[in-house]
Amino acid sequence: MKTTVAKFGGTSLASAAQFRKVKAIVMGDPARRIVVASAPGKRFPEDVKVTDLLLKCYGEAAGGHPFEATLEAVHRRFREIVAELGIDFPLEAEIAALRDSLQREPERNYVLSRGEYLNSRILAAYLGFTFVDPEWCVCFDAAGKLDAPMTKRTMSAALRPLGNAVIAGFYGADATGRIHTFSRGGSDVTGSLAAAAINADLYENWTDVSGLMAADPHIVSAPKAVRYVSYRELRTLSYMGASVLHTDAVLPVADLDIPINIRNTDRPDDAGTTIVRKLPKGETKYPIIGVAGRVGMSVIQVEKVMVSDESGFTAIMLDILKNRQIPFEQCLTGIDTVTVVIRSDVLAPYKEELFAEIRGKLNPDYLGLTEHLSMIAVIGERGTESCDANVRVLQALAGVNMPISTINQGAGKLNLLVGVPEDRYEEAIRAIYATIDEL
């Protein structure tokens, strides 16, 4: 029988009404044997996530301030869920234990993890599944770094014998039993680790959107949903700011070729986006899967005649950056120029000294800085292979008279990166989207 690991995010488990939807989804497919749960998230835009309440509670307790009102807000969230679902759950005792730990010796990660712990126990009781505490099987070292091989072994041993189980997301423990958490949004990582541990056929990630959109919906109205995306494309999209999944959630399943399906708990009939290693043949409707970008970029341009004949010129330039640990986004070399794209906030503190050193060491004929740029990535393993797609993108930009500061496409051809002025970023995205929409 096939096995699916189904992870439900905070909004999917924010209230009793959402729990009911989750139950219908889980019961709707017997393959959904292992469920991973987040803490209750926002029920409405101004609402506060339980993890944020816990963080506040910890801050108050650690600072010696009263925390009872914040703890009561956490208690209320769970009380409502338990009461509305009508399940038998020892909530009072659990909250008393949390209060006790806050009074005695508040431990940040322990406090933060209680949202997932309680929500998963409640969900397990509601579904009639076994509760698995990641404290026993998601293994961290003493410094708080995940021990991936150990986690795989321990999780596999914990989950394989169970018919159905709910495991709490976001945290684990070290050998001394001390709780550690992933970074925020880390229940995605737990889901991925669980899918890898039991070699699941599918990792479903249930959230509040029907997958990835081909462009930012704040910029383009009603962009297309992306049906399939490769792990590599996803990596570029996330780097460019499109966030649907924690970045560390890809690796464990990608290694084993387990697809990740992003689904919407509020619209369970939507197919969502499936993240795969290789795009299925004939299934990829759009050769270009999306357009995304980042504002706040600067470009340093160093020109010197015969640069391409001078070995080590670019290396010296990059060394100057490396010595100050300044990461760069792109480095383009031409016949007589070296162009480096850097995030403006990263560059700001070093601007003067950096320019002095470039002048001193490289003695350029021209040294320029262009600020307030944005970098746009047109992404698609297949689309950007064809020259037609690139022509269309550049034509779209020319059509709106967009000045282009840089164009970059490496041999990998996964994406075409174009630099345009920051104040025309949204216009450029819309123009490009309009043309890839037809592809």
Other C-beta atoms closer than 10 Å to the C-beta of 324 total 13
Q: On the CB side of 371, how many CA atoms lie within 13 Å of its CA?
A: 6
**x/- site string to ligand ASP, residues 31 to 50, per CB under 6 A?**
-------xx---------x-
Shortest approach of ligand ASP to residue 12 CB, angstroms? 10
CB closer to ligand ASP, 134 vs 223: 134
CB closer to ligand ASP, 172 vs 186: 186
Name which of 349, 171, 333, 66 is nearest 341 in CA terms: 333
**x/- site string to ligand ASP, residues 169 to 208, per CB under 6 A?**
xx-------------xxxx---------------------
CB closer to ligand ASP, 110 vs 313: 110
Site for ligand ASP in 133-172 (CB under 6 A): 169-170
Q: Which of 13, 85, 115, 121: binder of ligand ASP (CB under 6 A)?
A: 115
CB closer to ligand ASP, 9 vs 419: 9
CB closer to ligand ASP, 184 vs 324: 184
The answer to whether 39 and 77 are in contact (CB under 8 A) is no
In the sheet that 366-379 helps form, which strands lie side by side, from edge to edge?
Answer: 330-333, 337-343, 290-303, 366-379, 415-421, 406-408
Q: Which of 4, 12, 18, 51: binder of ligand ASP (CB under 6 A)?
A: 51
The answer to whether 6 and 261 are in contact (CB under 8 A) is no
Residue nearest to ligand ASP (CB): 187
CB closer to ligand ASP, 169 vs 223: 169
**x/- site string to ligand ASP, residues 76 to 95, per CB under 6 A?**
--------------------
Shortest approach of ligand ASP to residue 68 CB, angstroms? 22
CB closer to ligand ASP, 43 vs 232: 43
The answer to whether 40 and 237 are in contact (CB under 8 A) is no
- Residues making contact with ligand ASP (CB under 6 A): 9-10, 38-39, 49, 51, 115, 169-170, 184-187
